[in-house]
Amino acid sequence: MWHWKAVTCTFALGLIAAAPVMAMAGEKMDEAKEKTRSTTEEATGAVSDSWITSKTKIALFSDDRVKGRQVSVDTEHGVVHLRGKVDTSEARMAATQVAQGIEGVKSVKNDLQVVSPEERSAVKANDKEIAKTVESHMKTDAQLKKVDVRADAGVVTLTGEVPSIHASAKASEVARSVHGVRSVKNELTFTR
């Protein structure tokens, strides 16, 4: 025959013994929830940048002041980066205004070059030659072999990773020494 006191005591002892297990389970649930929230925030940020880029491109194609196909758009952490060659300074300013009008844009980095249509083919050919020459000079130095080079209306942009700030400075110096380079944008990162 069971006694209610014995059953109640046994049940209470079972709850006391289970309490640490239940607490650990609760902690694991909290950790899982936090990890899910963190992952969701990261995914939302990436989607947000992608969304901003797409909305900016659509808006540029819709605006009569800008030829959308002339503008390359990238977004990182809400900062829109515009690159390419446009026909007029008005088109360059309009591209900035369009990008600033997109929801979620924190700022706009406008690296658009103003090049008239008549000069564009000569500039394009010259940019290819400049980039090729800068790349060949970079390949002669072991520290600079992995530097990516892009030329746009005589402005050379360096990206990639180098081993030190000294190597980064040297890359700028090498690029600037090439005939036809108007300026150098050094976006290199270094490991030390």
* Tens-digit pLDDT profile for residues 172-186: 999 999 988 888 999
Determine what percent of the chain is predicted with pLDDT higher than 90: 44
Question: What distance, in Å, lies between the first and last C-alpha atoms of the chain?
Answer: 77
- What are the extents of the domains in the chain? 45-116, 118-190
> Which whole number is the average pLDDT over 76-82?
93
In this prediction, residue 67 has a pLDDT band, given cuts at 50, 70 and 90, of confident
CA distance to 25, 122, 148, 152, 170, per residue, from 185 (Å): 53, 22, 12, 11, 13
pLDDT over threshold 90, residue 11? no
Say which DSSP state 114 is in: E
Is there a shared CATH topology between the 45-116 domain and the 118-190 domain? yes
Q: Which fold has domain 118-190?
A: Histidine-containing Protein; Chain: A; (3.30.1340)
Stated as kind and residue range, the H or E segment containing 169 is helix 165-176
CB 82 within 8 A of CB 97: no
Find the angle CA(113)-CA(152)-CA(133) to the nearest 5 degrees.
155
Tell me, what's the pLDDT at 90? 94
More confident site: 46 or 78: 78
* Tens-digit pLDDT profile for residues 86-122: 889 999 999 999 999 999 999 999 999 888 877 766 6
Tell me, what's the pLDDT at 134? 94
* Tens-digit pLDDT profile for residues 17-52: 555 655 565 666 666 556 555 555 555 554 588 899
CATH number of 45-116: 3.30.1340.30
